[in-house]
């Protein structure tokens, strides 16, 4: 069965610090990969996605993620975080072969940015 593992439950950073959130998935076939963000009191929003092509994907608000197929990883990065990045971040994968489009989510990483 497919699964997604997010290594960090809660990350606390100061403004301007660099961010990297880990995400590993288990699925041997073709995958689509996503990062969603949930700001306090808001619904899940798409941050970025990888379907094919360049494994370095750029998303909104200065976020990027790199798909490394050999490591089954899709880590999220941002060079310099802001207080407004405080949110919960979810990595998700959609594999092919049986399922018809549903996403498998990790447990999420809560990011707290101190001003």
100 is a contact residue toward another protein (CB under 8 A): yes
CA 84-85-86 angle, to 5 degrees, is 90
Q: Which among 4, 14, 7 has a CA at the least distance from the CA of 109?
A: 7
Cα torsion angle, 68, 20, 58, 105, sign: positive
Gap between the Cα atoms of 15 and 66, Å rounded: 23
Which member of 14, 18, 45, 80 binds another protein (CB under 8 A)?
45
x/- mask, another protein, residues 3-42, rule CB under 8 A, reads -x---------------------------x-x-x-----x
Decide: is 99 part of the binding site for another protein (CB under 8 A): yes
Per CB under 8 A, residues contacting another protein are: 4, 32, 34, 36, 42-46, 49, 51, 90, 92, 94, 99-108
């Amino acid at each position: 069965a497919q699964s997604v593992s997010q290594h960090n439950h809660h990350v606390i950073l100061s403004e301007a610090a660099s961010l990297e959130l880990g995400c590993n998935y288990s699925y041997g076939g073709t995958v689509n990969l996503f990062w969603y963000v949930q700001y306090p009191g808001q619904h899940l929003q798409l941050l970025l996605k990888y379907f094919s092509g360049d494994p370095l994907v750029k998303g909104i608000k200065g976020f990027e993620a790199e798909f490394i197929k050999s490591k089954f990883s899709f880590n999220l990065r941002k060079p310099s975080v802001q207080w407004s990045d405080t949110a919960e971040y979810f990595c998700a994968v959609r594999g092919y072969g049986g399922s018809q489009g549903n996403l498998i989510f990790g447990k999420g990483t809560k990011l707290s940015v101190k001003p």
